[in-house]
Copies of this chain bind each other. A is one copy, B any other.
C-alpha cells in the first residue's frame, strides 16, 4: 500500500515555513508574501499534498456540503430538481450529497442521521410523510432544513412547492371538459402530501363541476413505472361497468407504466381510455402516446430551494418563506378526444 497522504506539517518542513503559514497559503493567500507562497505551492505539488477535510471541518465546525434527500433518484423529475440545486450550490463552492429515500421512512431516517453526523450546512428534503421528529431535531441543532415539493409550516420552516391542488384541478377539469364522466385517480402511498393534494385538487374540480362526474381511486404502493404497470394491469382487468374513461396519475412514471400495460392489454389510448400524468418529465412527450401532463418548473424548484437554504445559513435574522409556483397543463395526444 502507498503510504498515506502527507500532512500540512510535512509541507511546512519541506517549504521551510511554519504550519500556520501553509494554512494561510491555503485559506488566506493575500496574507502571505509572494515568494513564500510560491515555495509552499511548490512543496504542495511536490509532495502531492491533499488537505484533510475532516480535520478542517472539525476545527471550523462547518462542512461545505448540503444534503438533498429525494424520493426516487430514478425519477427524472428529481434529477432535474437536483440539477437546479447543484447549479446554485456549486456556484457557492458547496457540494451536494444526493440521498435516496425510496419513499421509505426508514431509509429517509438513516439518510438524515448520516447527514446529521456529517454536520452538513443544510438539508433539502422531500419528506416521505409527516416528519418523525428527525427534521425538527436537525433544525434544533442549528441545521437549516428546507422542504421542497411540499408545503411546510410557515412559522418554522422554509419550503418551495408547486401548487398541487391547482395542478390536480387543472388535470381533472381538462378531463371533465373533454367529456369524461368516470375518472380514476391512480397514486400512492397516501402518506405523500403530493399524492393527497393532487387527488384533492381533482376532487375539487369534480365537486364544483355541473356535470355528474365519478372520481374513484386506485392506490399504488409507489410512484414508479413498475407500480404503474401493475395498476394498468388491474385497470385492464376491470369489467366494462367498472372501467373508467380516463385515468389521472399522480406522476408521469406511473402514467408511463399504466400506458404500457394498457397498450399491452389491447386498450387504445386515448380512444378507449384517456391518460393524464403529472410532472411533465422529458420522457412524457416522447412516450408511445405523448402524455398530457401537469408541468412543474423542476430546475427552478431546485434552484429556489437551494437559495432559501443559503439565505437561512447566512442571514442573521431569517424570515421563513413559503414559495409556491404555479403548475401548467400541457395537453398532448393521451387525452385528446380525436386526432
Contact = CB atoms under 8 A, between A and B. Distances in A.
Interface of A: 1-5, 48, 50-55, 57-58, 61, 63, 73-74, 76, 79-80, 82-83, 86, 95, 97-98, 100, 113-114, 116-119, 137, 139-142, 225, 256, 259-260, 282-283, 285-290
B83 A79 contact: no
Contacts of A5: 119, 141-142
Given A4-B141, A260-B286, 5 more contacts: A2-B140, A48-B137, A48-B140, A50-B141, A53-B54
Nearest to A118: B53
B51 A117 contact: yes
Contacts of A57: 54
B63 A74 contact: no
A48 B114 contact: no
Nearest to A59: B54
Contacts of A288: 286-290
A95 B290 CA distance: 38
A4 to B, nearest CB: 6
A52 B119 contact: yes
Task: Return the 3 tightest CB-CB contacts between A and B, nearest first.
Answer: A54-B57, A54-B54, A53-B117
